[in-house]
Structure 1
Amino acid sequence: MRARDVMTRPVITVGPRTPVHAAAALLVAHGFGGAPVTDADGALVGIVTEADLVRGRIPAEGRPGTTPPETTVADVMTTAPLTARSADDLAELVATMLETRTRSVPIVDDGALVGIITRRDVLRCVARRELTSADVAARRADLGTHRRGSAAGG
């Protein structure tokens, strides 16, 4: 199976100048654990995770609270994230994700961000028993047939 078979697309991204609280709200609203960070031209410049966004934000109970300064995604993101290509072998990518404890990997082809793979995307395949590209293609074909039939009143 290839990365393209399970990657999520289109990708929801944030910019480096996005305030931390706004990026956190985006992740919460979509149920994501992280998001790729792209520049004005759409080029991948980093990734920001839940951990990046919460680190140092909540003061310990009983300690004088100081409001953290308004920071942006650029201040907290990982600037050289692990990436993969859409044609990469999914088994190898998953092994790397587990070894490095990486939860999500942006998929970049020819310098363009084309998708993202998360542990949840892979877990979804396991739950559906889709362990080959053919399994995924068959489900997508079934969905396409079902949707066309529904649209036609069937």
Structure 2
Amino acid sequence: MKAADIMTSPVIILHPATPVPAAAALLVAHGFTAAPVVDQERHVLGIATEADLIRGRVLPEGWTSGEGVEPVVATVMTPVPLLMRPEDDVADVVSLMLDSDVRSVPIVDDGVLVGIVSRRDVLRCVARGELTGAEVRARRADIS
């Protein structure tokens, strides 16, 4: 099974200038834990996770009270996230997620965002019996 078979597409995206509260509202509204940050050509610049947005909203001085300059996604995102391709095997994607402790991986084709694989997408495969632990362990052993 390939990443394209399980990825979520179209993808909810963020832009670098998106205010942090707006980005947080978008994640909450769609039930996602992260969203890719892209430029106008949909090249992935980073990923904004729940943790990134929480840190960006409540930690910097002045932002908790609503005073001062509102932070934007570009200042809190995780730059240059791990990326995979639509043709990559799902077991490889899962292995990368586990080894890197990430919850989602953007999927790009020729550098352009086409989807995202999240832990929820993987869990759906597990629930349907389409992905086994043996497959993932074999991929992880190949990488070691």
**TM-score, with structure 2 as normaliser:** 0.82
Residue of structure 2 in register with 1:102 after alignment: 102
Distance 1:56 1:74, change over 3 A: closer
Inter-partner Cα distance in structure 2 for 1:7 and 1:88: 11
Report how far residue 56 of structure 1 moved: 5.4
Q: Residue 44 of structure 2 contacts residue 80 of structure 2 at CA under 8 Å; is this kept in 1?
A: no
Kindly provide the amino acid, as one letter, of the partner of residue 96 in structure 1: L
Report how far residue 40 of structure 1 moved: 1.8
**Structure 1, unaligned runs of 5 or more:** 60-64, 133-154
| SS of match in other structure, 1:126 | helix
Taking the TM superposition and a 5 Å limit, the aligned residue runs for 1:1-154 are: 1-55=1-55, 57-58=57-58, 66-67=65-66, 69-131=69-131
Report how far residue 58 of structure 1 moved: 3.8
Report how far residue 2 of structure 1 moved: 1.0
Identity of aligned residues (%): 61
User: CA offsets, 1:113-148, max 9 Å, x none?
Assistant: 11100011000111122239xxxxxxxxxxxxxxxx
Inter-partner Cα distance in structure 1 for 2:56 and 2:47: 18
User: CA offsets, 1:45-87, max 9 Å, x none?
Assistant: 111000000015347xxxxx65464100000001110000000
Inter-partner Cα distance in structure 2 for 1:86 and 1:100: 19
Q: Which 4+ stretches in 1 moved above 3 angstroms?
A: 56-59, 65-69
**Structure 2, unaligned runs of 5 or more:** 133-144
Distance 1:86 1:56, change over 3 A: closer
Distance 1:118 1:57, change over 3 A: same
Structure whose CA Rg is larger: 1
**TM-score, with structure 1 as normaliser:** 0.77
